Structure 1
């Protein structure tokens, strides 16, 4: 179990689930040809998960002092697993992820895409070692990398088989993936700031430069409240313009109950949040919003097919 905690297996399962949902709960239900065979796509998921696991390990290595302050019960490096062994696992997972990415890039005839996996792995290392200490830079990087794990599906499964005849259809599908990537970015960016609010004591003792340390808890919670209004208005627009307007009642109801309502709950609560437990609870709420947001792609797809 300690090894699973080292790689934060819950987050990796979420990442794998997300990529499988977008492929088999959305793209495979369309009348199109996809670039990757079944097992090639599974390799893409393994590659993404492996690089992410390496990122979590290197982050844990450099976060030992901070975790001793914020979450001593979650410290693994030095207590259950030695630092040298952790570095070995980091190297193994990262090499596996990059090697598979190199292989898949050649499978689809786009060898230059292999650089994407190297850049992601390098960015995760830089994030853990230095960038996370910079104001907002670390938050943006984490949110962008999650979004990229959605866009990479389009790059490997849609782009290689796009031609003049299917360009409009493929472009529409890629734009839908882009919409979800933007949604994932917004929710995860807000969540990263909330996690900084939760970890402010340990971050401060380690000389970090997070937004709550710079602005203080009160101003940061107000900023987060304002930021949370952006996805609320975006979702309201999406529900009204694309779902309700097309008489997709099930999808509209799902979006209201499982995405919009929890977001409004979050916005209401963040204004009064003060304790570590408050911020931890709201961080989990955002995680569930992201989870249900991902599932919505399948709900909408089946709703459209049944409605037609």
Structure 2
């Protein structure tokens, strides 16, 4: 989904706008690859430290310690992360911004710290994961828009970057909800490992009610955004109401009554679909604007 999201913004949005871009197609492919490799490395290191928790929460999907050894997992983590960061160094020099390489190091370090310590801190781990996902949207602008920005196209590039930020905010809000829902689902295993997640601290029921309340924030954000920027684009408005707003309202209603792990798992998957359809809306917006024009 991470790669798909970044490709959607490049080929379903930027390319349609007919603007200069800093990276060639193959270089942009390397940016996507770097992001995915670092994220995959974070996933591996998280699985290494979550072996006992996963044995309780999702025993059928345990890989580390079962399909591959812990040593092999560490080697895989190092290989993925080092390769991803090395590609980041290369791309930073390609756009003559060598200092930007620190971004990849920072993200990789944050993923490691999340797996080893931040994940155990109430809400901190949830916020970090949501921020990292939203940053994967912002990094597109940093490497593809910013270096190609000149005085004559500064206003247009600024507008496109602000749209990227709007989508990053949307991704953050949806993924934060999803991370908390996943914590509710994984309460038993997390409790046995001495973690201090929100459901462990205040209980599943109270946490579910908090998520219910928080879900109104992205809902109002999207409705406000539609009313202010998209209402004149009929097809986009219908798309957003049908594929983003309606599922989010359904999520909010179900969140109030959800009590079982099966229900929370379904709601977690639903949020992933809402995120996907939300990101796809940028293509719908581009096409609708093109045909209107």
Q: TM-score, normalised by structure 2?
A: 0.99
Structure 2 equivalent of residue 187 of structure 1: 174
Please say if 1:294 is aligned against 2:289: no
Structure 1 equivalent of residue 266 of structure 2: 281
In structure 1, runs of 5+ residues without a counterpart are 1-13
1:165 to partner: Cα distance:
1.2
Please say if 1:272 is aligned against 2:257: yes
Structure 1 CA distance, aligned partners of 2:107 and 2:181? Answer: 24
Structure 1 equivalent of residue 10 of structure 2: 23
Structure 1 CA distance, aligned partners of 2:70 and 2:98? Answer: 35
1:274 to partner: Cα distance:
0.6
Structure 2 CA distance, aligned partners of 1:77 and 1:98? Answer: 23
Structure 1 CA distance, aligned partners of 2:3 and 2:263? Answer: 28
Structure 1 CA distance, aligned partners of 2:208 and 2:214? Answer: 10
Q: CA-to-partner distance for each residue in 1:244-271, whole Å, 9 max, x for gaps?
A: 1x2x111000000000000000000001
1:143-292 aligned within 5 A: 143-244=130-231, 246=232, 248-292=233-277
Structure 2 CA distance, aligned partners of 1:131 and 1:222? Answer: 24
Number of residues of Structure 1 aligned to a counterpart in Structure 2: 293
Q: Quick one: which of 49, 67, 70 aligns to 1:83?
A: 70
Structure 1 equivalent of residue 41 of structure 2: 54
Structure 1 CA distance, aligned partners of 2:65 and 2:151? Answer: 56
1:243 to partner: Cα distance:
1.2
Q: Quick one: which of 272, 289, 292 aligns to 1:304?
A: 289
Q: CA-to-partner distance for each residue in 1:282-304, whole Å, 9 max, x for gaps?
A: 00000000000010000011001
RMSD across aligned positions (CA): 0.6
Structure 2 equivalent of residue 10 of structure 1: none
1:31 to partner: Cα distance:
2.4
SS in 1 for 2:78: helix
Structure 1 CA distance, aligned partners of 2:244 and 2:234? Answer: 15
Q: CA-to-partner distance for each residue in 1:95-117, whole Å, 9 max, x for gaps?
A: 11000000000000000000000
Structure 2 CA distance, aligned partners of 1:268 and 1:114? Answer: 44
